[in-house]
């Protein structure tokens, strides 16, 4: 019961914060006056002046696409070169060398596409300059790109017989200056007050409370006892020869809080440290955990209410929100129940308590922080994969088969259960177009959405948008699974090994970035192939939805009649959920059957 209350409180706080933020975002993107206008207005105008942007200029869909693609391509190139050359660039107190070409490509693509998949450990592979000027900047502008494209799509539905769908540079600037930057600053201050590090100091060295003995391979010797005075190492009373004794530990530092705040808010997710949000310097307390967890979904949920306001029909936004919220709640319930229940193998014939009747945490605590527990860990795992964020406060590789299936499936749906900032909602609008088309076929009427007819061109683009994620994930996973070298990167064989591969490509294709943590993806083929998957899953939906927006903006409104399908009632919500599951879930059912589902039946068999 306590866990149920905890889940409910998290969801209530999230929605309560999202409703007013949704109204604020709508005002900002429509150019209305807000309480930050006096502060942010001059900054906005200064940017226009420096960049020579005419804020009143309208762009066609084609020009909007070109602007978005060029801007992201330049960002990719700058970050790629920065990662290659970081060894000779400043703000590198640990003298970390530049990345390999394939790793730099993967990382630059990852952060440019708002995926933040990491085939490296942040504190050992990146300099402070790369973290601050490279990754953090992309955390802002990749999220802002998603918001900008979403509002271009919204204008396509609301404008009548017009060619323009807005100005990419204006939308991008407002997203950063009025929305992302102020909230990220507040979030950064809050989490740094909890102990999240924010400095430019070199890494520190501290004395260990207890010395550690290592064997000749550098592995910790289990059960070793170190005599501090003589330096002798024994195991069960027997001396161990040639053991190395470690008495100091390197503690990584750096400008973490500023990056962590926007990585969560912008649904980016890339960890400053390799352990991501399980690291005590990245997520030290239950309060910092709450702030970061709310940031995972705050803007995606808010944008549902923004959508209703922007199309001048709040019921439309509520319907989209309801469909997403129902799927999120169902996913959270499945993940939470399975993690709390554990598995027969975890119980080890009663040797390990998997229930909480004796006062212990119970359930599957493997890979979870005891300070967070199962409820907060399961909530984070569900929210981060629904949001295409990818940050983790527990190891998904240690989840039960069905508990681990939930994060994987949420990514496979195409980040439409709230999804990424902006891109999640415009991806769901593609499914809404598909839903009204199916409904139109059933009743023999031309499909309509928000007063505009859905014709063959829009349908082709919507289908391409909806199928882009399944295609790139399955093709990438298939090729990787066929290569013998992929097996060397796996931490497990059999069904769980396939799950690791499938999860990795789902994470890249779902613009998520989380991992099972049992898969070493830092090889040339995996870095390049996952990078290409990320590009396809990001830009195919972006381009197709902008083309839909351009087409819809040129159309006239059609009159609402008795035969017009309502897109704001319970029946449409059900139909939308059905279409999402039909296209997303069933596309992956064969692969899931060979991975987590097969593993589940192996455990209970």
pLDDT tens-digit series, residues 255-272: 999 999 999 999 888 889
Mean pLDDT value across residues 544-566: 88
Q: 103 is written with which tokens?
A: 């790793």
Q: Is 240 a domain residue? A: yes
Residue 98 confidence (pLDDT): 94
Q: Which of 520, 487, 527, 517 is nearest to 100 (CA)?
A: 527
Q: Is 225 a domain residue? A: yes
Q: Is 556 a domain residue? A: no
Contact 126, 89 (CB under 8 A): no
Residue 345 confidence (pLDDT): 62
Please report, for residues 99, 113, 219, 395, 510, the alpha-carbon distance to residue 107 in angstroms, rounded to integers and kept in the order given. Answer: 9, 10, 29, 21, 16
Q: Is 335 a domain residue? A: no
- pLDDT, tens only, 118-134: 888 888 899 999 999 99
Q: Is 243 a domain residue? A: yes
pTM value is 0.91
Q: At what angle do helices 314-341 and 286-310 cross, to 10 degrees?
A: 150
Mean pLDDT value across residues 485-502: 75
Could you report how far apart the first and last alpha carbons of the chain are, in Å? 30
- pLDDT, tens only, 344-387: 666 555 555 666 555 556 678 888 888 888 889 999 999 999 98
Mean pLDDT value across residues 298-305: 96
| C-alpha torsion angle, residues 389, 395, 401, 404 (rounded to 10) | -10
Residue 348 confidence (pLDDT): 58
C-alpha 209/C-alpha 485 separation (Å) is: 41
Cross-strand pairs, 449: 452
What one-character DSSP code corresponds to residue 214?
A: E
- pLDDT, tens only, 568-590: 999 999 999 999 988 877 788 77
Q: Is 218 a domain residue? A: yes
Q: Is 236 a domain residue? A: yes
Helix, strand, coil fractions of the chain, as percent rounded to 5: 60, 5, 30
Q: Is 214 a domain residue? A: yes
Looking at the predicted structure, is the pLDDT value of residue 185 above 90? Answer: yes
Residue 207 confidence (pLDDT): 85
Range of the domain at 214: 204-251
C-alpha 403/C-alpha 513 separation (Å) is: 18
CA angle 413, 419, 424 (to 5 degrees): 90
Count of domains forming the chain: 1
Looking at the predicted structure, is the pLDDT value of residue 38 above 60? Answer: yes
Helix (H, G, I), strand (E, B) or coil at 325: helix
């Amino acid at each position: 019961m306590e866990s149920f209350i905890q889940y409910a409180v998290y969801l209530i706080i999230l929605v309560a914060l999202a409703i007013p933020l949704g109204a604020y975002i709508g005002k900002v993107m429509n150019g209305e006056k807000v309480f930050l206008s006096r502060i942010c207005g001059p900054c906005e105008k200064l940017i226009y002046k420096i960049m020579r942007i005419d804020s009143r200029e309208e762009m066609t869909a084609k020009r909007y696409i070109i602007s978005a693609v060029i801007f992201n391509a330049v960002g990719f190139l700058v970050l790629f070169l920065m990662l290659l050359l970081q060894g000779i660039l400043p703000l590198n107190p640990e003298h970390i060398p530049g990345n390999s070409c394939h790793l730099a490509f993967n990382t630059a693509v990852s952060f440019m596409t708002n995926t933040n998949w990491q085939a490296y450990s942040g504190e050992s592979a990146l300099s402070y300059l790369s973290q601050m000027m490279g990754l953090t900047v992309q955390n802002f502008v990749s999220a802002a790109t998603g918001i900008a494209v979403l509002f271009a799509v919204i204008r396509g539905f609301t404008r009548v017989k017009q060619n323009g769908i807005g100005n990419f540079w204006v939308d991008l600037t407002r997203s950063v200056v009025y929305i992302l930057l102020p909230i990220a600053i507040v979030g950064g201050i809050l989490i740094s007050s909890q102990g999240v590090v924010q400095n430019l100091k070199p890494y520190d060295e501290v004395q260990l409370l207890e010395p550690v003995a290592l064997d000749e391979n550098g592995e910790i010797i289990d059960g070793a006892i170190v005599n501090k005075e003589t330096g002798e190492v024994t195991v069960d009373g027997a001396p161990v020869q040639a053991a190395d004794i470690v008495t100091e530990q390197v503690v990584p530092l750096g400008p973490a809080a500023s990056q962590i705040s926007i990585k969560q808010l912008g649904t980016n997710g890339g960890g400053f440290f390799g352990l991501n949000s399980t690291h005590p310097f990245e997520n030290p307390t239950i309060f910092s955990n709450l702030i970061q967890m709310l940031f995972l979904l705050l803007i995606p949920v808010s944008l549902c209410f923004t959508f209703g306001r922007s199309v001048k029909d709040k019921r439309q936004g509520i319907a989209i929100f309801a469909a997403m919220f129902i799927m999120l709640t169902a996913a959270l319930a499945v993940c939470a129940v399975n993690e709390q229940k554990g598995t027969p193998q975890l119980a080890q014939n009663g040797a390990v308590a998997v229930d909480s009747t004796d006062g212990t945490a119970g359930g599957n605590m493997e890979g979870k922080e005891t300070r967070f527990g199962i409820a907060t860990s399961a909530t984070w795992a569900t929210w981060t994969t629904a949001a295409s964020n990818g940050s983790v406060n527990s190891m998904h590789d240690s989840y039960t088969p069905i508990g681990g299936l939930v994060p994987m499936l949420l990514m496979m749906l195409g980040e439409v259960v709230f999804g990424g900032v902006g891109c999640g909602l415009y991806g769901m609008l593609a499914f809404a177009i598909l839903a009204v088309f199916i409904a139109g076929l059933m009743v023999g009427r031309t499909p309509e959405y928000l007063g505009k007819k859905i014709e063959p061109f829009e349908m082709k683009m919507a289908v391409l948008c909806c199928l882009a994620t399944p295609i790139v994930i399955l093709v990438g996973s298939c090729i990787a699974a066929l290569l013998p070298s992929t097996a060397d990167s796996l931490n497990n064989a059999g069904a769980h090994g396939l799950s690791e591969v499938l999860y990795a490509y789902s994470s890249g294709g779902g613009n998520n970035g989380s991992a099972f943590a049992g898969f070493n993806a830092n090889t040339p083929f995996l870095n390049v192939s996952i990078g290409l998957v990320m590009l396809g899953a990001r830009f195919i939906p972006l381009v197709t939805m902008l083309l839909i927006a351009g087409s819809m903006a040129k159309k006239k409104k059609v009159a609402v009649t008795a035969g017009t399908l309502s897109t704001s009632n319970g029946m449409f919500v059900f139909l939308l959920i059905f279409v999402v599951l039909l296209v997303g879930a069933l596309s992956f059912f064969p692969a899931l059957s060979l991975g987590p589902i097969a593993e589940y039946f192996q455990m209970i068999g």
